[in-house]
Structure 1
Amino acid sequence: MTDLSDLPPARPWRGSALWPAAALLASLALWGYAVTHTDVSDLGDFGLVGALHPTFWAGLALLTAGFWFTLRGPHRHPAWAPAYVVGLLVMERATQAVVYPTPLYAWAWKHDAVVDHLLTAGRLQNADVLGDMAVYDQWPGFFAAQAALVKLLGVDSAAQFMAWWPLVSSLLLLLPLLLIYRTFTEDRRLVWLAVWLFCVANWVGQDYFSPQSVAFALHLGVLAIVLRRYADGGSGANGPGAGRPGVGGSGVGGAGGGQRQAVWTVLLTLLVVAIVISHQLTPGMLVASLAVLFFARHYRDKVPLITTAVIFLAWCLTAALPFLSATMPDMLRSIGDIGGNVATGYGATPTGTGAVTTSWVARLLSGSVLLLAVAGVLRQPVLRHRALPLLLLALAPLPMFAASSYGSEMIFRVLMFMLPGAAFFAAAALLPQVRTLAAVEAQGARPERRRFVWLPLVALLAGTLAFVPSYSGKDRISHFPQAEVDLVRQVVDKAPDGSLVVAADRNYPLAFADYWRVDHYWFLDDARQHVDLIVGEPAATLARDMASVEAPGRAYLLFTQGQFADAEMNGLLTRAQLDRIEKSVAASPLFERVAGNSAGSAYTLKSAKEAPEPKEAPEAKEAGR
């Protein structure tokens, strides 16, 4: 069977570059105007969606239409599709970096604290020193690399560049995605439309400053090497590398071929090591993917699977053993509990029109792409046959639902790992019947019916626009104004060693700052019984909780904009309850206000000796702490 191929242009492309360039430049100009005229000082329940200047939506719509007609036009030049995709990533991933004065996401700030710890300590430390935060020193690859980058750039911390990390990490995905897709087709329409759909459907937010962002790119890099360089020659004409020079490890014989294969094995090993020492989940996903390819008899070379499994197991039994030993009972209990593992992905209850709406838009976006992928599998039998390994890779993450909830995030991670394969077949559903090169040469390029142009364009436009609320609709939670950063920094910098910083939850910048010398406590992590005690008698209960701090340490209590947004929008506490807690503390003689600005206030417990005796039963107190 001949390979899928791009349809040859009817006429040369050289004279047809004006309108694609005009559409691309116009859309970027609209985006530039929008981001410079967007006010994020007072975000509502719809986050950035409600704050964006209308020209942003016009620019995004124009970019999508320009991409579609450039992709489908008979005079397309191969450079325009990647140019439009990069434009999409700029509009998707750089907007927040431009309009917000500080980096988003409390988790990104947490990872900045880990990098700061490595720079401060100069070495890895264990749980005796760091407590629960020692887990990051057991998977230090990403953080060590970022510490080196901070030194190399000569900046004070990773916070000075991590706002741009979503754009950087998304650009890193392009090369492995292209290599994977080009393994199964040379039709540029299909390849670049699949890349576009991947970017649009990848809303789950794992592109921020995190080990997962880099580990996922490395994961795709390993798969690209395996698919292109380890294809088994026994697959014959049906294998993905059949008829393709240089694709498939067994297709190259002799000493030169053996040397080249050794080079690819070394490269694969380096990528696997980087994944294993950086992230807990991605190596397991990679083993599952390679196992599916091997046992489905599409890639019979054992080297990738054995190499990955051995390196992963070796790390788990050495550096990661302390963490795994402590968490193994909980991990074993969650095995097989598919309903519980999936349900915890929506453990919080979105509250308010904006939170509920954006949550459903995100689910509909993912569901639509998956349904399109099913349609593509059914509609394109030739492609289904040729790209069966990619279909298997899309299904490989599903068993992870039975393994663990992964801190209530497994459903989002599984979706992300399914997406490269799903986007490929979803793109096939939006294109007309893909023909082989032989069929085109025999019959000529037939004009497409109008519905094959406009209906897919409408679907593509709807999905592209839906990305924005899916990705940025909860920015009221994720965004921290500069005043909030300054407030928390003021408290942490003045806190003596051994101090305790208390807050409602960890959704604020620098929530883990100086965690090697300052302890942190978030009372919404407690059992509901204890939270109810705090709501009932805020000042007295919090004073008792903070009274155990020994001098010279001090106990601080923070109320910030980010905490209030998270608690309110996720149904943890109402605004009235939060206001009651803060007013009780402000009026109590047990607390003294030590800092404050437009983003919140900070209080310190005057004296542990003045704290009242507990009123609740001992078992309730222990459950709360």
Structure 2
Amino acid sequence: MTLVDRPGPGPSDITETGRHRLDDLQTAVATPAARPVSYGWHPRAALWTALTVAAVALVVAVLDWSGVAVPGVIRIPAVLLAVFLLPGVPIVVALRIPGRALATALIVSASLSVNILVTQISMVLEQWHSAQTQTILLVVGLVASIAAFRTVPADVRTGPLGLARAHWTPTRLAMLAALAVSLALFIVAARGLDILQAGPYGVISLVGPWYFLGLLLLVATIVLTLRAGHIDHIVMTAAAALAVVYNTMLVAVATGEASVPTAFVHRGFVSVLAASHRLPDLEDARYSWAGFFSLATHIQESAGFTDLTDVLFWAPVVFGPLMCFGLYAIAWAIGGNARIAWMAVLLYQAFNWYQQDYFAPQAVAGLGYVAILGTMLWQLRRSPLPAPAGLDRVLPGRLGEVLSLARRTPGRVPGFGSGRTPAVGATLLLIITANTVSHQMTPMLTVLALAAFAVTGTTRYRTLWLAAGLVFAAWFSYGATDFWMGHLNSLFNEVGQIGYSVNRGVGQRLNGDPTYKSMQYLRIAASGAFVVVAFIGWLTCRGRRAWLVSGLLCAAPFVLVTLQSYGGEMIIRVFLLASPTLAPFVAIALVKLSRKLRRLPTVLVTVVAIILTLGMGVLETTNRGLNAAFEASTPAEDALTQGLINKIPPNSSVMVFSHAPHSVGARRALDPDSPIVGYIDSFPCLDNLAQCTENRQPDYVLITHQGIEMMDLQLGKPAEEMESDIAALEKLEDYTMFIETDSVRILHFVDAPAVDLSAELARSEGKDN
């Protein structure tokens, strides 16, 4: 599939004559006056793909039941494709959702939602059986795909794919060749990075000329393609995917490990669920929204993974491109053309330094959120929209018209009758429910977004926001008790405390190393500029039917700041969640600016556009990689930390210098004699690490490069002082260092035995930068 979105079916596409009407969920009745139903994509090809995936995955599941080993090269793709495609494909085909981008966004979100809900129910009820669950899901997907063939009309309009021989022009081939060279240069540049040398400037201080040359090729391809008279969607699809790689994979390719340390925490949660097949009690608040982790556990067992380390690495280049489909659908509905849609997709990447597209619930919830917005905005664009009326009789003028908006109900999308329209709403509610059991914050924003559609009279689903709110309230009350039990007052005390949320999200982050603190202002400036330009673009769109509701959608995430601080993450998250609707208006503003430059020489405008786009790419590389010094993980940090936690004697105590995300796992959560892991929890302890360690007398001391850099850059304790403290600790003769690599040092107390970590050392040998 390519990211080519096309208008949905209109009155000219589907007609009703006499007694003949297209049934919403059954085979169309052919009449002489009927015209082809416009999909903009190939429904039969999609169903055949779904059938093939379901059949292969079902065979794999049956063999798994039988104890027959299936090669990973077959088993892993079959399981993953089934999770992302089933039963979404038959659902979306039956609904006849038009447009490749919107259809793909809904296929993926609906499939993930069904899988999340089924696996979460199994986990909550403690009736876990991954092979049985997988078989049921695949049988349902197989039957649904077969049945969905009956819903496809005999005559459909699919739209061109752009794959015909005539489309493979020298220009396309040259552009694709440039992207291939750019990818090769990226890999060479990334593999040449010594990530342990990253400091307060982050990864930008490490990249060399090969990286900038590759980035230049990428941005030149994008600018030239967008400025062409006809946009080549094949080239833009490849360019968007490569932009995701540049934005998310630089540190990961350099180290061979996931670039966000929290991903390893999530891996640990999955290992806990895989070992116990139940939700642990009072272990971590995130287990109260464990839908994502239940699905990940199902994937780990069904695909035959020992753990999900490899999945962590590749997750950004799966979630990132999938996000592009929903972004394109939103931008198409707001902007109305492919050029603006593609620009919005790329602008989202160019300012997405928030790093939430890793192996995390937020990434999956984000896919669902953009699918919901894309569907609602598409319906608004295609539906008949009556003028607001009612209160204008009592309050004449603009005020009465505005107050009448909530009384307005749009007509149905042409071709979507009394059956298919509520079926689309039910699909959205399915996605909302899955998001509710997977993520704490996105469901709250979804309620606000749906309420914005309701109060502006731009949706037929006037009570969907209420249904979403009830689902969230029900889960919060009964499914998330471990989260709020015992500290409900503190949760409500944060409501309305905007200053507190801002201070935790911004003020408390502007600490530590002075250079690193100054670099943080680049991030703030980039996000601020993005909002300002989007606001300007929004103002220029006044008069469009989506103008008011899209403005409310941009503003809705910022309301969340008044509700809670989200552990200091709220400010980052609101900018992240606002970006899908801000990006189209930034694109609109830039397009309108470019129209004022038409009198300038084309070559000059193109060169300036390339330079400015390259500057945005460099800025994003800087912002995204600013935390590389304390977020990048080496293979040794991962392997040795896991080995230490798993092999030390029962009830041993471990003192970690800073944090240890790789230590989270089944033993710490489930073993009654699990190791006791302690951290540097006070500034007096930080001021004199040697004395603090001597006072606590832990059995083992774990020191990682990641932790040293975090204390240096975020807490303001220079690395030189910490090295001096470590040397003083060794001189006390109470501790002996038995592991020392470039990124990991482990000491044991004189009365505690040294642990044999030779296997873990061998596993990371030659990979530790």
Give the TM-score normalised by the residue count of structure 1. Answer: 0.82
Letter of the structure 2 residue corresponding to residue 84 of structure 1:
A
Q: Who is 2:69 aligned against? A: none
State which of 226, 236, 241 in structure 1 corresponds to 2:386. 236
Aligned 8 A contact 1:394 1:421 in 2:
yes
1:573 to 705, 710, 717: 717
**Residue number among 158, 166, 169 corresponding to 2:316 in the alignment:** 166
Structure 1 residues 567 and 303, CA gap change in structure 2 (3 angstroms): same
Q: Deviations over 1:507-542 (max 9, x none)?
A: 55335663213355443334x45555x548334322
The yes-or-no answer on 1:344 pairing with 2:504 is yes
Following superposition, the deviation at residue 577 of structure 1 comes to 3.8
Give runs of aligned pairs for residues 589-608 of structure 1, distance below 5 A. Answer: 589-606=733-750
The match for 1:464 is: 617
- 1:211 and 2:361 aligned: yes
Alignment counterpart, residue 293 of structure 1, candidates 435, 441, 453: 453
Q: Which of these residues, 390, 393, 398, is aligned with residue 553 of structure 2?
A: 393
| Contact 2:531-2:582 at 8 Å conserved across structures | yes
Higher deviation after alignment, 227-236 or 263-272: 227-236
Report the Cα distance in structure 2 between the residues aligned to 1:415 and 1:340, rounded to whole angstroms.
17
Equivalent pair of 1:113/1:514 in contact (CA under 8 Å):
no
Secondary structure at the aligned position of 1:603 is classed as strand
SS of the aligned residue for 2:313 comes to helix
In 2, Cα distance between equivalents of 1:167 and 1:465: 20
> 1:196 and 2:346 equivalent?
yes
Corresponding residue SS for 1:509: helix
Matched, 1:250 2:411: yes
| Cα deviation code 1:17-52 (max 9, x no counterpart) | 354334433433432432344443533433322222
SS of equivalent to 2:423: helix
Please say if 1:322 is aligned against 2:322: no
The two structures, once aligned, show a CA RMSD in angstroms of 3.1
Q: Deviations over 1:52-101 (max 9, x none)?
A: 23111121122112211211112433333222211211222233332212
The residue number in structure 2 matching 1:540 is 694
* Equivalent residue, structure 2, for 1:585: 729
Q: Please give the residue correspondences for 1:68-87 in structure 2 after superposition, counting only pairs within 5 Å.
A: 68-87=223-242
Q: CA deviation at 1:395?
A: 0.7
- Three-state SS of the structure 1 residue aligned to 2:231 is coil
Q: SS in structure 1 opposite 2:478? A: coil
In structure 2, what is the Cα distance between the partners aligned to 1:428 and 1:267? 30
Q: 1:226-280, CA deviations, whole angstroms, 9 ceiling, x for partnerless residues?
A: 2234779573379xxxxxxxxx9732589x7122123212311221121111111
Aligned residue type for 2:709 = A
Match of 2:179 in 1: 24
Shift of 1:147: 1.2
Residue equivalent to 2:124: none
Residue aligned with 2:229, SS? coil
Partner of 1:182: 332
Q: Does residue 715 of structure 2 align to residue 559 of structure 1?
A: no
Q: 1:483 aligns with which of 628, 631, 636?
A: 636
Do the aligned partners of 2:690 and 2:728 also contact (CA within 8 Å) in 1? no
Gaps of 5+ in 2: 1-6, 8-165, 389-408, 753-769
Kept after mapping to 2: 8 A contact 1:231/1:299: no
Q: Distance in 2 between matches of 1:575 and 1:562?
A: 11
Q: Give the distance between the partners of 2:562 and 2:354, measured in 1 at CA.
A: 20
Cross-structure match for 2:588 = 428
Q: How far did residue 285 of structure 1 move? A: 1.4
Cross-structure match for 1:267: 427
Paired position in structure 2 for 1:375: 536
**CA spacing shift, 1:472–1:136, aligned 2, 3 Å:** same
Relative to 1, partners in 2 of residues 1:558 and 1:109: Cα closer, same or farther, differing over 3 Å?
same
What per-residue deviation string (whole Å, max 9, x for no partner) do you get for residues 102-124 of structure 1? Answer: 22232111111100001111211
Q: Structure 1 residues 352, 126: closer, same or farther in 2, change over 3 A?
A: closer
**Helix, strand or coil at the partner of 1:595:** strand
> 1:434 and 1:250 mapped to 2: Cα distance?
36
Which residue does 1:100 correspond to in 2?
Answer: 255
**Normalising by the residue count of structure 2, what TM-score does the alignment of the two structures yield?**
0.68
Question: SS where residue 654 of structure 2 aligns?
Answer: strand
Letter in 2 for 1:364: A
Q: How far is 1:222 from its partner?
A: 1.8
* Structure-1 separation of matches of 2:375 and 2:366: 14
Contact 2:657-2:707 at 8 Å conserved across structures: yes
1:144 corresponds to which letter in structure 2?
S
The answer on 1:525 being equivalent to 2:675 is no
Assess, with a 3 A threshold, how the Cα gap between structure 1 residues 37 and 530 changes in structure 2: closer, same or farther. Answer: closer
**What is the match of residue 7 of structure 1?**
none
Q: 1:520 to 1:171 in 2, by over 3 A?
A: farther
Structure 1 residue ranges, 4+ long, deviating more than 6 angstroms after superposition: none
The 3 A distance-change label for structure 1 pair 531 and 56 is: closer
| Contact 1:13–1:76 under 8 Å retained in 2 | no
Letter in 2 for 1:181: A
Secondary structure of 2:700's partner? strand
Structure 1 residues 68 and 318: alpha-carbon distance in aligned structure 2, compared to 1, 3 A threshold:
same
1:371 is displaced (CA, Å) by 2.0
- Distance in 2 separating the partners of 1:542 and 1:323: 30
Aligned-residue offset at 1:300: 5.1
Counterpart code for 1:467? E
Paired residues of 2:334 and 2:377 also in contact (CA < 8 A) = no
Shift of 1:387: 3.7
Percent same amino acid among aligned pairs? Answer: 23
CA contact (8 A) 2:200 2:629 kept: yes
> Is the contact made by 1:477 and 1:507 (CA closer than 8 Å) also made in structure 2?
no
Of residues 31, 42, 45 in structure 1, which corresponds to 2:197? Answer: 42
Shift in CA distance, 19/512, structure 1 to aligned 2, threshold 3 Å = same
1:167 is displaced (CA, Å) by 1.6
Contiguous gaps of at least 5 residues in structure 1: 4-11, 239-247, 436-444, 547-554, 609-625
| Local SS of the residue matching 1:396 | helix
Task: Note the alpha carbon deviations across 1:367-395, whole angstroms, 9 max, x for none.
Answer: 22222212212344455x54432222111
Which residue of structure 2 lines up, in the alignment, with residue 302 of structure 1? 462
- Pairwise CA distance, 1:311: 1.0
Q: Are the counterparts in 1 of residues 386 and 410 from structure 2 also a CA contact under 8 Å?
A: no
Deviations 1:299-336 (A, max 9, x none): 35224212211111110010102312333222222222
- In structure 1, the residue matched to 2:208 is 53
SS at 2:232 equivalent? coil
CA displacement, residues 131-186 of structure 1 (integer Å, 9 cap, x when unaligned): xx2x2332111111111111233221111220111221111211211222222333
Note the alpha carbon deviations across 1:543-588, whole angstroms, 9 max, x for none: 2xx4xxxxxxxx3221121110100011342324423432343233
The amino acid that maps onto 2:622 is P
Match of 1:615 in 2: none
CA distance in 2, matches of 1:31, 1:140: 36
- In the alignment, the residues of structure 2 paired with residue 86 and residue 194 of structure 1 have an alpha-carbon distance, to the nearest angstrom, of 14
Shift of 1:466: 0.8
Matched, 1:494 2:647: yes
Instruction: State the secondary structure of the residue aligned to 1:263.
Output: helix
SS of match in other structure, 1:46: coil
Q: Rate the CA distance shift 1:351–1:367 in 2: closer, same or farther, 3 A.
A: same
Take 1:26 and 1:419, find their aligned partners in 2: how far apart are those partners? 30
Aligned residues of 2:659 and 2:679 also touching (Cα < 8 A): no
Q: 1:249·1:261 contact (CA, 8 Å) conserved in 2? A: no
Q: In 2, Cα distance between the equivalents of 1:354 and 1:165?
A: 31
